[in-house]
């Protein structure tokens, strides 16, 4: 059963199933890389369902092209896979609790700094 939570995180189930079918067609090493990126995004990708679905589809596009061209995985993700994924996430609309908490942190620090200057 495709839960409402999963639908909110990854978008409509039809898009998700199409994405997963595409990933299954990748060569094993590319598929393992996409699976690792997906797993990371499920934990740390602060975005809404539509943005997440678009991001996953774009990751599939990227790795399909790379596999077809024989591009080595390290040429795609570089030496820092976390930075690679974080850069991808920055290109998509964000939302959810992580974004909210980041903004709360910034606002709290800004208030504290203003209070300190006014003393």
Query: What is the Rg, in whole angstroms, of the alpha carbon atoms belonging to the chain?
Result: 18
Q: Give SS3 for 24.
A: helix
For 19-62, the pLDDT digits (tens) are 999 999 999 999 999 999 999 988 876 567 777 888 899 999 99
Q: Do 13 and 7 meet the contact criterion of CB atoms below 8 Å apart?
A: yes
Of the CA atoms within 13 Å of residue 112, those in its CB half-sphere come to 6
For 54-92, the pLDDT digits (tens) are 889 999 999 999 999 999 999 999 999 999 998 888 777
Closest Cα partner for 5 from 16, 115, 83? 16
Could you tell me the domains of the chain? 4-94 (1.10.1900.10)
Give the predicted TM-score (pTM) of the model.
Answer: 0.70
């Amino acid at each position: 059963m495709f839960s409402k939570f999963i639908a909110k995180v990854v978008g409509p189930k039809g898009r998700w199933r199409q994405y997963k079918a595409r990933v299954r067609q990748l060569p094993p090493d590319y598929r393992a890389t996409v699976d690792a990126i997906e797993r990371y995004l499920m934990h740390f990708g602060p975005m809404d369902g539509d943005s997440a679905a678009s991001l996953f589809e774009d990751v599939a596009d990227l790795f399909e092209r790379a596999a077809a061209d024989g591009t080595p995985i390290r040429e795609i993700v570089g030496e820092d896979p976390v930075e690679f994924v974080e850069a991808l996430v920055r290109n998509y609309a964000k939302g959810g609790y992580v974004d909210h908490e980041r903004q709360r942190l910034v606002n709290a620090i800004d208030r504290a700094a203003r209070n300190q200057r006014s003393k």
